[in-house]
Amino acid sequence: MIIVTGGAGFIGSNFIREWLAGSQEPVINLDKLTYAGNLKSLADLSHDARYRFVHADIGDRVAVAALLKEAQPRAIVNFAAESHVDRSIHGAAEFIATNIVGTFNLLEEVRAYWKGLPSTAQANFRFLHVSTDEVYGSLTATDPAFTETHRYEPNSPYSASKAASDHLVRACYHTHHLPVVTTNCSNNYGPYHFPEKLIPLMILNALAGKPLPVYGDGQNVRDWLYVTDHCSAIRLALEKGRLGETYNVGGRNERTNLDVVNIVCSLLDELKPRADGKSYATQISFVKDRPGHDQRYAIDATKLESELGWKAAENFESGIRKTVQWYLDNQDWVQSVTSGEYRKWMDTQYANDKEAA
Ligand code: NAD
Ligand code: DAU
């Protein structure tokens, strides 16, 4: 069996669903259930005998050690993290606690468990660390896309904390020989994406008749990948990735934020037209820029494609259509995650919306 940490979040929940669709191998989801973790994202699996949820913090060494001893996993896939850049700007303490100290504590306990395994199980064990392209910093319009050898230049408290976790994972391999593989992925989108992030936020605000807050001039570029394509890359890296290596994952799909928001609006215009016949794009509002806003991310996924044979199944047109339709069809899930805590965050982050860029 495997343990997935952070499996109640956006990518982790999609990963667990994909895993169980393609394998009989059981999976344990270890999650702290922060504001971003929601067991409703896995409600369809709650009675599946191959799935088990354990409520714990990756930084809780006693809980992690006990689970490892009892469950005897052959692999850990580490998704657990604080993941939202804007929140890290408002306050980074939780990012340091989970992304750095939590990852360290997890690595310490996994290493102790791994050292006690029989030699074949030790050789077959894997620790897959899920990271981000944001550790590489920001590109100009003409820079080549990030490769795995691009230097680390994190610019936000979030990306700095992820960079630190990547370095701890790397050191654990080089110093202690724990069999690790790291993936660095671009922006994901798809079902179960928490609506503090660009695409789901725009869908929900549009439907609620609220402004669509585009930071700055909307010309920042992100490389968007449908979430299940990220999951298939992680699975390949887990099974076939070379030890100690990192693999970049990306969709070769660079878009400005304004393009993305306009595409979301035109899909909503088609699938759920506004009562007054106007486009949702009339709700777009340019607001104050994110401090330290990275201009452009782009991923060169050649290593993953050529070494491991990975290929994205979804293109942006098909993926974004599915995503918008999913949010229209899953209002129950939306209601369950847009709790009091969510509304408090929206008030804090967008309080100065009226302030033009
Ligand atoms: P998310 O915020 O949706 O989910 C994070 C999950 O981790 C939640 O279920 C939360 O409860 C859990 N968690 C947080 N702190 C924890 C702790 N101390 N112990 C146990 N569980 C804890 O995040 P996501 O978007 O699904 O991202 C998952 C991982 O992928 C993160 O490591 C993130 O850095 C990385 N990543 C995300 C993207 C993206 O576009 N979303 C892209 C590349 C990499
Ligand atoms: O690149 C991978 C990263 O992608 C992951 O590591 C992070 O966990 C994930 O959150 C995401 O980070 P971003 O900062 O790129 O995603 P976000 O959805 O917050 O923002 C996407 C872009 O849209 C970014 O340029 C900021 C902009 N934006 C965002 C919000 C929430 C807006 O213009 N308005 C908004 O209201």
246-276 tens-digit pLDDT: 999 998 999 999 999 999 999 999 999 999 9
Tell me how far apart the alpha carbons of residues 30 and 56 are, in angstroms, rounded to a whole number: 6
| Average confidence (pLDDT) over 235-241 | 98
Per-residue model confidence as pLDDT tens digits over 6-48 = 999 999 999 999 999 999 999 999 999 999 999 999 999 999 9
* Residues with catalytic function: 133-134, 158
pLDDT of residue 339: 83
Pick from 135, 187, 201, 256 the residue to mutate for probing ligand 2's pocket: most ligand atoms within 8 Å of its CB: 187
Least confident of 207-211, 240-244, 345-349: 345-349
pLDDT of residue 357: 39
| Average confidence (pLDDT) over 95-100 | 98
pLDDT of residue 353: 67
Q: Calculate the average pLDDT of the chain.
A: 97
98 Cα nearest atom in ligand 1 = 18
Residue 29 Cα, ligand 1 centroid: separation in angstroms? 13
* Least distant ligand from the CA of 135: 2
Band the pLDDT of 356: cuts 50, 70, 90: very low
Tell me how far apart the alpha carbons of residues 169 and 157 are, in angstroms, rounded to a whole number: 19
Strands of the sheet with 51-55, listed across from one edge: 51-55, 27-31, 2-5, 75-78, 126-132, 180-185, 246-249
Q: For ligand 2, atom 4, which residue shows the shortest CA distance?
A: 187
Token pair of 28 as six digits: 């344990």
With contact defined as beta carbons under 8 Å apart, do 214 and 283 qualify? no
With contact defined as beta carbons under 8 Å apart, do 249 and 230 qualify? yes
Residue 5 Cα, ligand 1 centroid: separation in angstroms? 9
Give percent helix, percent strand, percent coil of the chain, each to the nearest 5: 50, 15, 35
- Domain boundaries, given as residue ranges, for the chain: 2-188+226-253+293-315
Res. 324: pLDDT tops 90: yes
Q: Which residues line ligand 2 (CB under 6 A)?
A: 83-85, 132-134, 186-187, 197-198, 201, 213-215, 220, 222, 257, 290, 297
81 Cα nearest atom in ligand 2 = 8
Phi, psi of 315 (to 5 degrees): -105, 170
- Considering the chain, what percentage of its residues have pLDDT values greater than 90? 96
Looking at residue 281, the DSSP 8-state letter turns out to be: G
CATH number of 2-188+226-253+293-315: 3.40.50.720
